[in-house]
Amino acid sequence: MNQTHHLFHHHTETTRRLTEGTPWKVLLSFAAPIFLSQLFQQLYNTADSWIVGNFLGKEALAAVNSSGSLIYLMTSFFVGATWGAGVVISRHFGAGDEERVSRAVHTNALLSTICGLAMSIFGFIMTPQILRWMGVPETVMPNSVAYLRCYFLGSTPVVLYNSFKGVMNAVGDSRRPLYYLIFSSLLNVALDLLFVGALHLGVAWAAIATVLSQTASALLCLRQLTQPGTIYRLQLKKLRIDGQSLKEILKIGLPTGVQNSVIGFANVLVQSHINSFGDLAMAACGAYSRIEGFVFLPIMSFSLALTSYIGQNLGAKEYDRAKAGARFGILASIAMAELVGIVSFFFGNYLIASFIRDADPEAVSQIIAIGAQQFRVEALFYFLLAFSHSIAGICRGAGKAMVPMLIMLLVWCVIRIIYITIAMRIRHEITLLFAAYPLTWFISSVIYLIYYKRSDWVHGFETSEA
Residues 6+ apart with CB under 8 A from 94: 17, 18, 19, 311, 312, 313, 314, 315, 316
436 close to 422: Cβ distance less than 8 angstroms = no
Read off the DSSP letter of residue 233.
Answer: -
pTM of the predicted model as reported, rounded to 2 decimal places: 0.69
Q: What is the pLDDT of residue 269?
A: 81
Q: What is the pLDDT of residues 403-439, one digit of tens each?
A: 888 998 899 889 999 999 999 999 999 999 999 999 9
Q: What is the pLDDT of residue 45?
A: 66
Q: What is the pLDDT of residue 9?
A: 41
Number of Cβ within 10 Å of residue 167's Cβ equals 26
Q: What is the pLDDT of residue 227?
A: 86
Cα angle: 381, vertex 384, 389; to 5 degrees? 135
Number of Cβ within 10 Å of residue 57's Cβ equals 17
Q: What is the pLDDT of residue 466?
A: 35
- H-type alpha helices, 96-192: 98-133, 141-153, 155-170, 175-192
Q: What is the pLDDT of residue 4?
A: 38
Length of the chain: 466
Q: What is the pLDDT of residues 127-180, one digit of tens each?
A: 888 888 877 778 778 888 888 888 888 888 888 888 888 888 788 777 888 888
Q: What is the pLDDT of residue 5?
A: 40
Q: What is the pLDDT of residue 383?
A: 95
Q: How far apart are CA 88 and CA 399, in angstroms?
A: 9
| Radius of gyration for the chain, computed over Cα atoms and rounded to the nearest angstrom | 22
CA 73 to chain centre: 11
Residues 6+ apart with CB under 8 A from 176: 14, 168, 221, 224
Q: How far apart are CA 74 and CA 151, in angstroms?
A: 11
Closest CA to 466 of 319, 302, 354: 319
- Judged by DSSP in three states, 81 sits in helix
Please state whether 173 falls in left (phi above 0), alpha (psi between -120 and 50) or beta: beta
Q: What is the pLDDT of residue 465?
A: 43
CA dihedral 258, 264, 269, 273 (to 10 degrees): 160
Read off the DSSP letter of residue 237.
Answer: G
Give me the amino acid identity at 272: S
Q: What is the pLDDT of residue 311?
A: 83
Going from N- to C-terminal start, the domains of the chain cover 22-453
Cα angle: 148, vertex 181, 98; to 5 degrees? 110
- Tally: H helices and E strands in the chain: 17, 0
Read off the DSSP letter of residue 317.
Answer: T
Cα angle: 411, vertex 412, 415; to 5 degrees? 50
Q: How far apart are CA 411 and CA 413, in angstroms?
A: 6
Q: What is the mean pLDDT of each run of 10 residues along the chain (466 residues)?
A: 39 61 84 78 71 76 70 72 78 81 88 88 87 79 86 87 84 81 87 88 86 91 86 83 86 79 77 85 84 82 87 84 92 92 90 74 88 94 95 88 87 92 92 94 95 71 44
Q: What is the pLDDT of residue 16?
A: 62
